[in-house]
Chain A
Amino acid sequence: LAKTTQPISMDSYEGQEVNITCSHNNIATNDYITWYQQFPSQGPRFIIQGYKTKVTNEVASLFIPADRKSSTLSLPRVSLSDTAVYYCLVVGAGSYQLTFGKGTKLSVIP
């Protein structure tokens, strides 16, 4: 299972764009990059998943360079409700197993 490294914590003001970078140097060819969000006292929630280049949905964008050794989760114009822990995971295609790291604790400041 590919190991991921991401910052332990980040602070941002409301309305700013937040970029959280994750490194996964030993990602395998069949692996996908997946991000989950966890609010206090709740279970993790899927945000976005990608394999290469750029993926965008209504919540976030995911940028993956050609070598796929890192990825960046971009949250546009964050609000206080985006305060949460964000987990970067590398998951093999067809794999059942999710391995969660420490995640990045994002604190949005008014």
Chain B
Amino acid sequence: DTAVSQTPKYLVTQMGNDKSIKCEQNLGHDTMYWYKQDSKKFLKIMFSYNNKELIINETVPNRFSPKSPDKAHLNLHINSLELGDSAVYFCASSRQAGGRADTQYFGPGTRLTVL
């Protein structure tokens, strides 16, 4: 069974369009994340939700809006897509440990190409 899944795996779209990427985890975790990995392979956190509450919101254009309908899902909606948004987007999840730093489980990624 897939622990963290993302759809779609590939997304090719035109500049100016609006698109969404969906993420689901079946691990029973409380916390979910979105990361962006650019062409230089740097992996940067964008958002994190804990039990549907936003807890991390890094400096990301407000064209990006995360939505968590329940703690098993965290979707990423992107408005007015730009060329610079082309990247691989990874979803991840972790338990809410509160003690030692917790392992994050990553999805397979969504490769977004903006033309």
Known A100-B42, A102-B41, A103-B41; judge A41-B100 contact (CB<8 A): no
- Indicate if B72 sits at the interface (CB-CB under 8 A): no
Residues of A within 8 A of B108 (CB): 41-43
Closest to A96 in B: B48
Q: Which of B89-104 contact A (CB under 8 A)?
A: 90, 92, 94, 97-104
- Indicate if A97 sits at the interface (CB-CB under 8 A): yes
Interface of A is mostly: loop
Cα-based distance from A54 to B41 in the complex (angstroms): 30
Contact B104 A98 (CB under 8 A): yes
Contact A41 B101 (CB under 8 A): no
Closest to A94 in B: B98
Contact B101 A46 (CB under 8 A): no
Contact A41 B109 (CB under 8 A): yes
Q: A1-37 CB contact bits vs B (8 Å, 1 = yes)?
A: 0000000000000000000000000000001101000
Counting contact residues on chain A (CB < 8 A from B), the size range is: 20 to 34
- Indicate if B114 sits at the interface (CB-CB under 8 A): no
Contact B42 A102 (CB under 8 A): yes
Counting contact residues on chain B (CB < 8 A from A), the size range is: 20 to 34
Q: Which of A21-71 contact B (CB under 8 A)?
A: 31-32, 34, 38, 41-46, 49, 51
Cα-based distance from A102 to B32 in the complex (angstroms): 23
Contact of B107 among A43, A98, A102, A103 (CB under 8 A): A43
Closest to B105 in A: A46
Which has the most chain A C-beta neighbours within 10 Å: B45, B56, B99, B101? Answer: B101
Residues on A lying within 8 angstroms of B by beta carbon are: 31-32, 34, 38, 41-46, 49, 51, 85, 87, 91-100, 102-103
Apart from A42-B109, A98-B45, A102-B42: 19 A-B pairs, beta carbons within 8 A: A31-B101, A41-B109, A42-B108, A43-B92, A43-B106, A43-B107, A43-B108, A43-B109, A46-B103, A46-B104, A49-B100, A85-B41, A91-B101, A94-B98, A94-B100, A96-B33, A96-B94, A97-B45, A100-B42
